[in-house]
Copies of this chain bind each other. A is one copy, B any other.
């Protein structure tokens, strides 16, 4: 029995072990490393540590630093009370051997990260894709609690996605499922970094929003973004567009409205295809609140079938910045104990 074997792995079945108070959740990003201690029964992470990733120094270096951050964090609560560790990485993961196959953002290939971190930290480790972890975190402890069929979409430097059905991460045939950001809503449209065309990520990521703003600048009148583009570093960012829109810049407002329209087409596709109970939208752009969710909801309703729209709530994430750690801890608990 595979599940029984795994349950025994962290050193004892049953619910009475007093040492099992925390699970470490680790989020390895292109910019930051984050380590936090998630209560065994669920909750917000405590003793959070954050450092620059410096992934160019390689996986063994990062593993040693994660172990040091964990020792530091565990010292803040109670040494010896951490049952194990879940680790999320932005890339494809072969979970059985615990190997990171490809991660363009970190530049690693075939890195045996689970064992590297496990040996450095002296703890059992579960490794998973970061978008899966973020989705699982929202399902376990955030906006997705109780949802039977949930899809999470994270808008950031890229557009990530994760699917949780019946309390399990839906992984597909080769652990590659959930790539909402690389579904196309414009088959002949803008070239995406993945090589396809018209992917949601090409429009609704930070760089995608910036590209839309720059494309339209010539016809934009006196947008403040024109001055940004003409300045020394000449960099219009997604954040700059959001800030300009919040300040009432007409061009920026139009760009965000068009972005919401494109995102809505992708969300409507999810609704018609998977008929979920819940779609959770995460990422900095959700700070726009009703300015985003109002138009998004209305456009999804225009596009998708009524019975499927009526069955689906579209809500902002509840764990900004921590969903990845919480979900990684949840993945460890699910793997080691058979439940969360």
Contacts and interface: CB of A to CB of B under 8 A. Distances in A.
Given A173-B312, A311-B173, A272 B183 contact: yes
A312 B177 CA distance: 12
A102 B95 CA distance: 44
A304 B173 contact: no
B185 A273 contact: no
B275 A171 contact: yes
A17 interface: no
B174 A310 contact: yes
A304 B197 CA distance: 10
B269 A183 contact: yes
B275 A174 contact: yes
A92 B179 CA distance: 28
A184 B187 CA distance: 9
Interface of A: 92, 101, 148-149, 161, 163, 170-180, 182-188, 194-198, 261-262, 265, 268-270, 272-277, 302-305, 307-308, 310-312
17 contacts: A148-B173, A171-B275, A175-B307, A176-B275, A176-B305, A176-B307, A176-B311, A177-B274, A179-B273, A179-B308, A180-B273, A184-B269, A185-B186, A186-B186, A187-B262, A194-B305, A195-B303
Pairs A-B, 7 closest by C-beta atoms: A172-B275, A187-B265, A177-B275, A174-B311, A173-B311, A176-B308, A179-B272
